[in-house]
Structure 1
Amino acid sequence: MPDTASAQVPTLSLADQARDPAAFAQAFGRSFQRFGFAIVADHGVPQDLIGRAWQQTEALFALPEEEKRAYHVPGAGGARGYTPFKTEIAKDAKHVDLKEFWHVGRELPEGHRFAGDMPGNIWPDRPEGFRDTFVDLFAAFDRAGDRLLSAIALYLGLDEHWFDPAVKDGNSVLRLLHYPPIPADAEGVRAGAHEDINLITLLLGAEEAGLELLDRDSGEWLAIKPPEGAMVVNVGDMLQRLTNHVLPSTTHRVVNPPVERRGHSRYSMPFFLHPAPDFLIETLPGCVSAENPDRYPTPITAHDYLHERLVEIGLIKK
């Protein structure tokens, strides 16, 4: 069976943004408009921090099942803490995903106005140093995400700081993902075909391959193979809705490995960058034209949109 063709997603350097913000914004935006994805090197997330996070992610998921499940909050939509294996399902999929995960959210001060919408983090007793590592990693992703949103704003003809108030204290989530070894006859795939909910996703890659995007032009599944150390970034449905599909949220999946690799775990760390719960997702006027009429005349808050989608993927029950 031949290998899946690779997507020709360009690799961009975030270091170029400081030298020429407009040129970086054009290159980044064009990649988003063509693929819904971009690959970003020199993203500024410290490599030693990333290395520590990988080690602690593996240690976390190696804990006994009973210990991990003590950090699961039934009915909370997986917002924080642990979500067990075979819980989440892609919209319209027949089989649940073959994965378990842990969510870290924003640390809010006591009495914050979003405390009712953004629950506090759940921290495990072990591995040691887990909290410090992932608070730091969340902040590093946040900084990189702000820079990428600035480029998107410029590409859309907006002020470079347009997204700043939208994502200040945003409901972003850092997901630690473990795809355990699977049998050759496993039903379903590691992550079924889906689109992300948020504005943009920043993904630190996995040693094990499997990430594929659905190319809109050809209808083919294409493998995404970023260079070592680079970050995969993709459009989420909130940004697609905000831009009236000028920037499309591309369907993607994580396929099962070849039989000879099914005894190996796969780990990844996506950062789902969300706006604040009260942000109104309202079509940008510059993204509406005679050729592209407004698909979403009725605005919706980020909080309500997120709730709708969590119901669809089985994390919240109706």
Structure 2
Amino acid sequence: MSYEENFAGIPPFPDDVPCAPLLRLSLEKLLNHNETEVERLCSACKDLGFFYLDLRGNPILADADGLFDTGERLFELDLDEKRKYDMSKQFSYFGYKESGAAVVDKFGNRDRNEFYNVSKDDVLGNSNPLPQPDVLNKSRPLFKSFITNAHGIVTVVLNLLNEHLQLPPSTLANLHRLNAVSGDQVRMIKAPPQPPDDRRTALGQHTDFGSVTVLFNRVGGLQILPPGRDAEWCYVRPLPGHAIINLGDAMVKFTNGLLRSNIHRVVSPPGSQAETTRYSLVYFSRPEEDVILKRLQGSDCIPPLAPGEEEEEIKSKDWIIRRALGNRVALHGEKIDYEESLGTEMISRRAYI
């Protein structure tokens, strides 16, 4: 079944809701270093930090189809079975998170999705294997193919940004090597329809804490808040044959704010899609574990630090654990510093949000 055919049977995304102005970029053109397309990529990464990437003809679409099926089978398992792999019990960001285990706002409202994080390094053999359900073990070849193809897309983006920033060759790619240990993961997500009289945020507003995110979904619900004091939340329409790509906070830190990690959230899908279970598939690329998240040297394009400004000395691994588990009820009870889990963009928005 083609990726386009997998949209069949899903209620149409409505035309009367505000949608984010994401640029549609072509992976083929980027691979061919089409000058106009590369300029559009760099503009998208500075202005909004989100864009569509046309992947038609790329094998990752077949990988995504297979993993959507794997995810559905995974989430059909009994809750007690899935809880055996609860990531909070291991103080890890790999494993299972059940619905309601995290908060979505400062009032303590619980999230409305469950997900499972699969380690890139486990799948590729860079680390010791982690315990996981049989349905995932049986799909390891598929995960390996998806991870390899997704990481290839990430590397294309990083190399083009590297050239734009006039950094020494492969600076960014060498911080995100496929076979180096990192927090890279595949996340499978399930968000069932919400009660008609209580449709609200399913995943709270945040920025991603890694470098580049590659997202596949077929049902709406993702929203972004564009830059600007008077900005309003707008939906990101899923497009067949396309991934949604966005930058994370690590890229903000590496470029001292030149590149953008935009705030986003997940709400109940719009229109008739609200009655549909929303599945998502994500590849999160993050800097290698020992990388220090701070402004990169070697580029005159990256803004300097402000006079007297000192950067936090924190390794990628410690940063990821702090951000990934910061809003988990199971770890912190009700004493959660919700603001600290939101990400870098909230620092600049707090003055007027």
Smaller-chain TM-score bracket: 0.7 to 0.9
Output the aligned Cα RMSD: 2.9
Q: Which residue of 1 aligns with 2:176?
A: 167
Matched, 1:136 2:155: no
Q: State the Cα deviation string for residues 239-278 of structure 1 (Å, max 9, x = none).
A: 1121111112111111113575443210011111111110
TM-score normalised over the length of structure 1: 0.86
Tell me which amino acid in the other structure corresponds to 2:207: E
Aligned counterparts of 1:80 and 1:300: Cα–Cα separation in 2: 20
Q: Which residue of 1 aligns with 2:246?
A: 234
Aligned counterparts of 2:142 and 2:124: Cα–Cα separation in 1: 21
Tell me which amino acid in the other structure corresponds to 1:265: T
- Return closer, same or farther for 1:270/1:97 CA change in 2, 3 Å cut-off: same
Q: State the Cα deviation string for residues 116-162 of structure 1 (Å, max 9, x = none).
A: xxx74333123783222222212221111111111121222224511
Aligned counterparts of 1:315 and 1:200: Cα–Cα separation in 2: 27
In the alignment, is the contact (CA less than 8 A) between 1:200 and 1:274 conserved in 2?
yes
Tell me which amino acid in the other structure corresponds to 1:10: L
| SS of residue matched to 2:234 | strand
| SS of residue matched to 1:190 | strand
Q: Which residue of 1 aligns with 2:39?
A: 26
In the alignment, is the contact (CA less than 8 A) between 1:100 and 1:179 conserved in 2?
yes
Q: Which residue of 1 aligns with 2:29?
A: 16
In the alignment, is the contact (CA less than 8 A) between 2:208 and 2:261 conserved in 1?
yes
Unaligned runs of 5+ residues in structure 1 are none
TM-score normalised over the length of structure 2: 0.78
Q: State the Cα deviation string for residues 7-48 of structure 1 (Å, max 9, x = none).
A: 221100011123226544322110111111111112734332
Equivalence map 1:265-304=2 (5 Å): 265-285=277-297, 286=300, 287-289=302-304, 297-304=311-318
Unaligned runs of 5+ residues in structure 2 are 1-13, 333-353
Please report how far the alpha carbon of residue 82 of structure 1 lies from its aligned counterpart in structure 2 after TM superposition: 1.6
Identity %: 23
- Matched residue count: 311
Q: State the Cα deviation string for residues 285-305 of structure 1 (Å, max 9, x = none).
A: 532248x76865333211121
Matched, 1:98 2:103: no
Q: Which residue of 1 aligns with 2:102?
A: 88
Tell me which amino acid in the other structure corresponds to 1:107: D
Aligned counterparts of 2:309 and 2:241: Cα–Cα separation in 1: 37
Equivalence map 1:142-291=2 (5 Å): 142-168=151-177, 169=180, 170-186=182-198, 188-204=200-216, 206-217=217-228, 218-258=230-270, 260-285=272-297, 286=300, 287-289=302-304
Aligned counterparts of 1:171 and 1:130: Cα–Cα separation in 2: 20
Please report how far the alpha carbon of residue 166 of structure 1 lies from its aligned counterpart in structure 2 after TM superposition: 0.8
Aligned counterparts of 1:128 and 1:76: Cα–Cα separation in 2: 20
| SS of residue matched to 2:331 | coil
Please report how far the alpha carbon of residue 93 of structure 1 lies from its aligned counterpart in structure 2 after TM superposition: 5.9
| SS of residue matched to 2:77 | coil
Aligned counterparts of 1:64 and 1:246: Cα–Cα separation in 2: 45
- Structure 1 stretch 261-270 or stretch 37-46: which is displaced more? 37-46
In the alignment, is the contact (CA less than 8 A) between 1:242 and 1:283 conserved in 2?
yes
Aligned counterparts of 1:42 and 1:111: Cα–Cα separation in 2: 27
In the alignment, is the contact (CA less than 8 A) between 1:39 and 1:226 conserved in 2?
no
Tell me which amino acid in the other structure corresponds to 2:303: V
In the alignment, is the contact (CA less than 8 A) between 1:78 and 1:103 conserved in 2?
no
Q: Which residue of 2 aligns with 1:314?
A: 328
Aligned counterparts of 2:136 and 2:87: Cα–Cα separation in 1: 20
In the alignment, is the contact (CA less than 8 A) between 2:255 and 2:296 conserved in 1?
yes
Tell me which amino acid in the other structure corresponds to 1:60: L
Tell me which amino acid in the other structure corresponds to 1:196: D
Please report how far the alpha carbon of residue 187 of structure 1 lies from its aligned counterpart in structure 2 after TM superposition: 6.9
Tell me which amino acid in the other structure corresponds to 1:25: V
